A and B are shown apart, each in its own frame.
Chain A
Amino acid sequence: MLIINCPLCGPRDHAEFTYIGDATKNRPKSDDISNDDAWYDYVYLRDNPKGLHEELWQHSFGCRCFVKVVRNTVTHQIIATGMPKEDLILDEKGFERSV
């Protein structure tokens, strides 16, 4: 029943989206190829936070954009959305989109 604000399409029902996963994981650069820990972390390690979680959803039945979503895992409230590489940072009032 969530409404996700797609940065390209605007607010849409979550049924149009596919949940992808943790948005904080970045593929280690190829010169990190010997860094086992970085790869282990990227491929396997996922936090299961109680509270705010940065995650990716794909607007599969819309523009097919990957959307970064900051969601409260306790209340399911969506605090902010943006493009995958966008920094959605916390200020004193809670999460807000930085431009």
Chain B
Amino acid sequence: MKKGSSEVFSFKSRRQQRLDDGGQINRLEPINFTFDGKKFTGFEGDTLASALLANGVRLVGRSFKYHRPRGIYSAGIEEPNALVALRSGDRHEPNTRATAVELFPGLEAKSQNRWPNLLLDYLQINNLLSPFLSAGFYYKTFMGLPGWHFYEYFIRKAAGMGDGTKFKDPDKYDKKHMHCDILIVGGGPTGIAAAVTAGRAGARVILLDNHPTLGGQLNGELFFLDEKPAHYWIEKCVEELDDMEHVTIATRTSAFGYYDSDVVNAIESVSDHLPEPPDYQCRQRLWQIRAKRVILATGATERPLVFSNNDRPGVMLASAARRYVNQYAVRPGNKAVIFTNNDDGYKTAFDLARVGIEVVAVVDSRKKIPEHFEKELNEKEIEVIPRSVVVDTHGYFGLNSVEIGTLSQDGKTIESNPFIVSADLLAVSGGWSPNVHLYCHSGGKPVYNDAVEAFVPGALSQNGHSAGAAKGSFSLNDCLHEGHDIASTLVKALNFESAKQIIPETNEKNIVPIEALWRVPGKGKKFVDLQDDVTESDITLAHREGYVSVEHLKRYTTLGMGTDQGKTSNLNGQAIMAQEKAEPIEKIGTTTFRPPYTPITMGTLAGRDIGLSYKHTRRSAMHNWHKQNGAIFVEAGQWLRPQYYLDELEQPSKENMDTAINREVQTVRTSVGLVDVSTLGKIDIQGKDSAEFLNRVYTNGWTKLPIGKARYGIMLREDGLVFDDGTTSRLDECHYFMTTTTSNAAAVLSHMEYYLQVQWPDLDVKVTSVTEQWAAMALAGPKSREVLSKLLPTRNVDNESFPFMGVREFDIEGVPARIFRISFSGELSYEINVPADFGEFIWQRVLEVGRTYNIRPYGTEAMGIMRIEKGHVAGPELDGRMTAADLGLQKLLSTKKDFIGSKMMDREGLKDKNRPRLVGLIPVDKTSRVKSGAILVKDPTLAPPVPKLGHVSSSAYLSPTLGHPISLGFVSGDIIETSKKVWAVSPLHNESHELEITDPIFYDQKSERLHD
């Protein structure tokens, strides 16, 4: 507050800064908007930044770390300072760049990172504390101390960006895939010239530009092409391109990433320039463009200069200052000083002077001053101060004066006493950096070019060719010619006839080379990265502390880590490090640029794949019946399955989850139930080598399975561990039908396809998924045979005619059905498969016929409890870590043949007797609910590390059949031998329960119920 405290800057003293005429704004369309709640008016064609400047608003935000007052620094997407929160409610969006936001009616913007308001920001105390807040300060000070989590909250709050919204995004986002011969990124002079040449040759062209209109840098300049203002040429070209059907021009579309296979992704701002998207229109659209060739005409970004207090509102890039004058007819200040190390500053001086802004001086750090500007300088009475620099600036809420001094020969000190001139605008130019970001995304490595003092594209990677300013060619004449030339080369490479284009004459002056000036001597805070508040001294500190590689420098100081990704700051920072190390910049290198080039919304990446469309929902053929009959659904992978049914007929108002599951289990155990098992994977296997193939895929023997019989089998992976289990039936000589677990259906199919296509292509076998084609239901319970015989009055289904593991193909009510006498529940059971279209019909028919036996549908919970009672392994046991012996299935391992996994399964570690193996577990108190996933230990009171003896894999909180909870789990072999009890602990839930180890089959150990 030192210098600024006496200064009063308020909105009341605002001065209107709009010029009376000129610019590319539509004065007939005034637009009202608010900033921090105050009402303003701009015009159509304004950005939020130009409208604020037109209304005399200079202070627009507080800086990230020191909370210093900040103004508008640029006129484009590179803006580091003027970040505002846009809109409110569910469309509130933080950190938007005021310089890239098109003004729309009712626009609502708020400044950020200040509390309680812009003029009175309590956190500006950070500025006074700044000697302590150097690079790495927070980590050095607070990390490692107890309570970092406590400090972190306040630190993050003080050093933060805008807040996001907590509401659901109301807008839609879309995606679009495009193909073309030549994609041109950037609609400036280079891009337009390239598009005309490529379009005339007949190539399919897509031309992208992130602004509302084409023209690029030309829109901010007073250039003449063939002695007419440049916009005549732009309009003529756009008209010609618009008439070509094979040319697509996309404005407001920003290419943000260049990926493999010459894919460029761009984001089209469809409705961001409107108060809200029109009906049925999306907010933004993602374009994924596949191009045969890409022309990167992405232009260049002007760099700041690094000197004391170079961040005050009123300090601005020189090109931005003249863009505000030329394109928006706004005076960015009334009394200007230009500070430059290249010719660019002179252009600004002339354009500002042309509209009556007093140009106090052009401060040029170069020893050689361009002579070709002399005439115009004299005409406009602009003083040039050579070999000089801006040493410091003054003015708290906005610039009011500038100190100018002369640089010593070696550039390290200021020779004379600086003198002070008053000024409210300081336009700075430190030279231009080509926008090589997309080139780098494509895999290219930029190289340093001394002539332009910047990194330029190096060798070609993929097919993305840089041209114009993006290649380091900063003169308009070069840009136009390079655009034409590269397009002409590329169309020829794609076998198009090349086309002629007469490039217009420009009115450019010769250019005197830039002389690098990376920093100005002086004591004040010299900002390198305005967005992240990284100063020159942070970089020298990083150097002293050994963080000298550019990647370390970036992470230690946060240089270039803001939302602008250091577009204006990277090179200055790297150059200062190079000076500290006394090495050339090319040796220091540059950090890796990664997509996105500009911030993009998550919504665009997600597109329509949100909510229910995020993943597929699979429903069985009987889904509607389940829904209408009280089913509570559970997600099983992509499937929705009935978990249990709240049966209002049964026990009105009394039924809850527990009673429903209980009732369902008892129905199956005592009478008969019906469960939808359509989700099981079903694979049709045909071909004369099918038996041989199954013999290799499954661990047990398959060659002798007769037609009309099913067999249970397990598959191993090649490493010898169990992969999946299921039943496969022989329908005919060369025709089998396989079922897999629900979760492994896709993996088993791919597994078999791999062996058939890659390892054993000689086998004549075809496999096809038929999961969707068949609806499946299991009719289970002691009364199931009676229901089946009623369903099939003409068929004999007694135990001899249709034995256990038998398979029959019968018609039910004229519907062809495959019926398998297999069981998962432990009861007599028939799995009925019918074509999916008849699923609901047959399901209802079975329930109708079974009514006399009180048949009830049951869900996955009852099914799961019954399989635990029966000790059947399922998904939780088949977790990819178990051998067949671990699961008690060693009898299924054939010793007479080779099969997948047979070689590796006999390794020593897999045969260890002490491996955990499947057991039954019962809580000693017969009531505790033991969570699946609980860890088994010897004693819950042991101090860590506690040896793990196994784990609980599946739990039934109550076995209705046994009257107490039961679990399946795995316990080390030696413990099973020596001990009857273990403890299950679940530290997350702070639970421990003592369990008795039992046989894993709790119910009908001899399986008599299945066979009779």
> Do the two shown chains form a genuine complex with each other?
yes
Partner of A1, one of B261, B443, B753, B904: B261
Q: Could you say which residues of chain B place their CB within 8 Å of the CB of A64?
A: 753
CB-defined interface of A26-37 with B at 8 Å, one 1/0 digit per residue? 111010010000
Structural contact, A65 and B718, CB atoms closer than 8 A: no
Given A20-B754, A26-B759, A75-B461: A1 and B259 interface contact (C-beta under 8 Å): yes
Q: Could you say which residues of chain A place their CB within 8 Å of the CB of B290?
A: 3
CA distance A27 to B717 in the complex (A): 13
Q: Could you say which residues of chain A place their CB within 8 Å of the CB of B462?
A: 75
Q: Could you say which residues of chain A place their CB within 8 Å of the CB of B757?
A: 65-66, 84
Closest to B767 in A: A64
Partner of B750, one of A18, A26, A43: A18
Structural contact, B753 and A66, CB atoms closer than 8 A: yes
Structural contact, B750 and A76, CB atoms closer than 8 A: no
A91 to B: closest C-beta gap in Å: 23
Partner of A43, one of B718, B753, B761: B718
Closest to B262 in A: A1
CB-defined interface of B248-281 with A at 8 Å, one 1/0 digit per residue? 0000000000011101000000000000000000
Q: Could you say which residues of chain A place their CB within 8 Å of the CB of B750?
A: 18, 58, 60
B1004 to A: closest C-beta gap in Å: 39
- Let me know if A89 is at the binding interface, CB within 8 A: no
Q: Could you say which residues of chain A place their CB within 8 Å of the CB of B948?
A: none
Structural contact, A43 and B758, CB atoms closer than 8 A: no
Partner of A66, one of B263, B719, B754: B754
Number of A-B contacts (CB under 8 A): 50
Partner of A56, one of B443, B718, B758, B903: B758
CA distance A11 to B753 in the complex (A): 21
B716 to A: closest C-beta gap in Å: 12
**Interface of B (DSSP majority class):** mixed
Partner of A58, one of B288, B461, B753: B753
CA distance A18 to B753 in the complex (A): 13
Q: Could you say which residues of chain A place their CB within 8 Å of the CB of B718?
A: 27, 42-43
Q: Could you say which residues of chain A place their CB within 8 Å of the CB of B21?
A: none
Closest to A3 in B: B261
- Let me know if A39 is at the binding interface, CB within 8 A: yes
- Let me know if A93 is at the binding interface, CB within 8 A: no
Q: Which of B398-455 contact A (CB under 8 A)?
A: 443
Structural contact, B261 and A85, CB atoms closer than 8 A: no
Closest to A76 in B: B260
CB-defined interface of A62-90 with B at 8 Å, one 1/0 digit per residue? 00111000000001111000001100000
Closest to B719 in A: A43
Structural contact, A1 and B758, CB atoms closer than 8 A: no
CB-defined interface of A13-54 with B at 8 Å, one 1/0 digit per residue? 000001010000011101001000001001110000000000
Given A30-B898, A33-B898: A1 and B260 interface contact (C-beta under 8 Å): yes
CA distance A10 to B813 in the complex (A): 46
Q: Could you say which residues of chain B place their CB within 8 Å of the CB of A76?
A: 260-261
Structural contact, B719 and A2, CB atoms closer than 8 A: no
Q: Could you say which residues of chain A place their CB within 8 Å of the CB of B263?
A: 1
B950 to A: closest C-beta gap in Å: 26
Q: Could you say which residues of chain A place their CB within 8 Å of the CB of B754?
A: 20, 56, 58, 66
Q: Could you say which residues of chain B place their CB within 8 Å of the CB of A2?
A: 260-261
Given A39-B903, A58-B753: A85 and B761 interface contact (C-beta under 8 Å): yes
Closest to A27 in B: B759
Structural contact, A66 and B758, CB atoms closer than 8 A: yes
CA distance A16 to B758 in the complex (A): 19
CA distance A39 to B290 in the complex (A): 43
Closest to A26 in B: B759
Q: Which of B678-720 contact A (CB under 8 A)?
A: 718-719
A28 to B: closest C-beta gap in Å: 8
Q: Which of B460-478 contact A (CB under 8 A)?
A: 461-462
A57 to B: closest C-beta gap in Å: 12
Q: Which of B261, B263, B761, B898 has the most CB of A within 10 A?
A: B261
Given A3-B290, A58-B753: A43 and B904 interface contact (C-beta under 8 Å): yes
Closest to A65 in B: B757
Q: Could you say which residues of chain A place their CB within 8 Å of the CB of B898?
A: 30, 33
CA distance A39 to B718 in the complex (A): 9
CA distance A61 to B288 in the complex (A): 20
Q: Could you say which residues of chain B place their CB within 8 Å of the CB of A20?
A: 754
Q: Could you say which residues of chain B place their CB within 8 Å of the CB of A1?
A: 259-261, 263, 288
Q: Could you say which residues of chain B place their CB within 8 Å of the CB of A33?
A: 898, 903
Q: Could you say which residues of chain B place their CB within 8 Å of the CB of A26?
A: 759
Closest to B720 in A: A43
CB-defined interface of B308-351 with A at 8 Å, one 1/0 digit per residue? 00000000000000000000000000000000000000000000
CA distance A77 to B462 in the complex (A): 9
CA distance A43 to B461 in the complex (A): 36
Closest to B258 in A: A1
A55 to B: closest C-beta gap in Å: 12
CA distance A36 to B290 in the complex (A): 47
Partner of B904, one of A18, A39, A65: A39
Q: Could you say which residues of chain A place their CB within 8 Å of the CB of B903?
A: 28, 33, 39
Closest to B756 in A: A66
Q: Could you say which residues of chain A place their CB within 8 Å of the CB of B261?
A: 1-3, 76, 78
Q: Could you say which residues of chain B place their CB within 8 Å of the CB of A27?
A: 718, 759
Structural contact, B461 and A84, CB atoms closer than 8 A: no
CA distance A87 to B16 in the complex (A): 75
Q: Could you say which residues of chain A place their CB within 8 Å of the CB of B288?
A: 1
CA distance A84 to B757 in the complex (A): 7
Other CB < 8 Å A-B pairs besides A42-B718, A58-B754, 8 of them?
A1-B260, A43-B719, A58-B753, A60-B750, A66-B757, A75-B461, A76-B261, A84-B761
Listed from nearest, the 3 A-B pairs whose CB atoms lie closest are A1-B263, A1-B259, A76-B260
| 30 A-B residue pairings within 8 Å (CB atoms) | A1-B263, A2-B261, A3-B261, A20-B754, A27-B718, A27-B759, A28-B903, A30-B898, A33-B898, A39-B903, A39-B904, A42-B718, A43-B719, A44-B719, A56-B754, A56-B758, A58-B754, A60-B750, A64-B753, A65-B757, A66-B753, A66-B758, A75-B260, A75-B462, A76-B261, A77-B260, A78-B261, A84-B758, A85-B758, A85-B761
